[in-house]
Amino acid sequence: MKKFLLVVFFIPLLAQSQPSAAKSDSALYADSVKFFSKTIVQQPGNSTAYYKRGSTKFKLKDYTGALTDLDSAIILNAKYEDAYLERGRTKYALNNYDDAIEDYSLVIKLNPNNASAFNNRGLAKQKKDLKGSLADLNQAVLLSPKDPVFYSNRGDTKRIGQDFKGAIVDYNTAITLNPNFLNAWYSRGIVKYDMQDYAGEILDDTKAITIDPSYANAYYNRALARAKLNIYADAVDDCTEYINLQPKDPDGYYERGNNEFNLEDYKTAIDDYTISIKIDKKYTAAYLNRGLAKSNLGDFDGAVKDYDTAIKIDPKFADAYNNRGVIMVQLKDYKHACMDFKKALELGSDQAGDNISKYCNN
């Protein structure tokens, strides 16, 4: 499972008081909310104070509170471009894409030269209107041709639409405009992976890590690319870095287990698959691969239990039926093996047909 970046919005800047070095961002934002709240009490008709408090609440991920404040700002000032822009971003964060598009459209109606509104509307349209998304991002680039963010976002739309070459061109432009633009390096790596240029993805992920050594997803995706090139030991190291940064994500342990499996370190792989399952009890792929690792160690009963569990979670899991059938063959239970192979074939398994020919037509 590839890890993707969050979208990059363009947002209005907030005027903030000088931060105290000892305070965290969240503490600073909380102080800002208090400050703007006092201003609102003293000046209830101050649309800017509502806008700034709403924007700060957004940073605190209080999206409902942000919407309430931004609504108030717009009621007080129906032509408040920045408030519409920020409200659209908030609605996007709440997965309310259609309403976000409406807000960005209002900004564009107020100011047809607002490149940020075209950019943000293009991002909102990525979910179900790629043609419209591309048109909006084209306009953002036209209005602000030296902004790397707009090229990177347009590259994302092209990638989603399978225009990999076009996406690469946009990411290249973004990198030329800003050689330290993390999003562009990382996203270009994803496209290279899609184009089966795994060495290219490794180089781009490595650059992203150089820019930000704490960027977890770059380690994860680099591990996937290294695994494609059979560089399993380095992939294990990348997964370990990812796990250190994201210890609650079952994917990190699962992928590390896969690379340990490929190194024939089945016991360690089982440990990692087990951690994945503890984090996500319905992680069927982890059950499947743990079962395979157990079977390679001769623990056929343990393998069958894992396949049974995977099938219970997902009764249409073809590979689990096929693998369980293989264990049944090893246990010389050909009747149940053939039942599993036939079920696997019915569900679309690529291997089940050969297994039926080999074990079930005698």
- Please, are residues 237 and 25 in contact by the beta-carbon 8 Å criterion? no
Task: Assess whether pLDDT exceeds 70 at residue 56.
Answer: yes
Helix 232-245 vs helix 250-262: crossing angle, to nearest 10: 160
pLDDT for position 3: 56
Q: Helix or strand or coil: residue 195?
A: coil
pLDDT for position 29: 84
Alpha helix segments (H runs only) across 60-129: 63-76, 81-93, 97-110, 115-125
31 vs 133, which has greater pLDDT? 133
Q: Express each pLDDT in 256-313 by its tens digit.
A: 999 999 999 999 999 999 999 999 999 999 999 999 999 999 999 999 999 999 999 9
Q: Express each pLDDT in 316-355 by its tens digit.
A: 999 999 999 999 999 999 999 999 999 999 999 999 999 9
Measured distance CA(247)–CA(243) in Å, rounded = 5
pLDDT for position 15: 33
> What is the average per-residue pLDDT within 242-263?
97
> What is the average per-residue pLDDT within 109-118?
97
Task: Assess whether pLDDT exceeds 50 at residue 22.
Answer: no
The token duo for 27 is: 């503490």
Q: Express each pLDDT in 180-191 by its tens digit.
A: 999 999 999 999
Q: In sequence order, what DSSP letters do the residues of 130-179 get, joined into one string?
A: HHHHHHHHHHHHHH-TT-HHHHHHHHHHHHHTT-HHHHHHHHHHHHHH-T
> What is the average per-residue pLDDT within 202-223?
97
Q: What is the DSSP letter of 348?
A: T
pLDDT for position 290: 97
Find the angle CA(126)-CA(130)-CA(132) to the nearest 5 degrees. Answer: 100
The token duo for 233 is: 């030991």
Task: Assess whether pLDDT exceeds 90 at residue 23.
Answer: no
The token duo for 177 is: 């405009």
Alpha helix segments (H runs only) across the chain: 25-42, 47-59, 63-76, 81-93, 97-110, 115-125, 130-143, 148-160, 164-177, 182-194, 198-211, 216-228, 232-245, 250-262, 266-279, 284-296, 300-313, 318-330, 334-346, 352-359
pLDDT for position 13: 36
pLDDT for position 4: 52
pLDDT for position 30: 86
**Among candidate residues 313, 260, 264, the one with its CA nearest the CA of residue 288:** 313
Q: Express each pLDDT in 68-107 by its tens digit.
A: 999 999 999 999 999 999 999 999 999 999 999 999 999 9
Task: Assess whether pLDDT exceeds 70 at residue 14.
Answer: no
pLDDT band at 25 (very low <50, low <70, confident <90, very high): confident
Average pLDDT of the chain to the nearest whole number: 93
Tokens 């979910």 belong to residue: 127
The model carries a pTM of 0.87
pLDDT for position 19: 36
Task: Assess whether pLDDT exceeds 60 at residue 24.
Answer: yes
pLDDT band at 9 (very low <50, low <70, confident <90, very high): very low
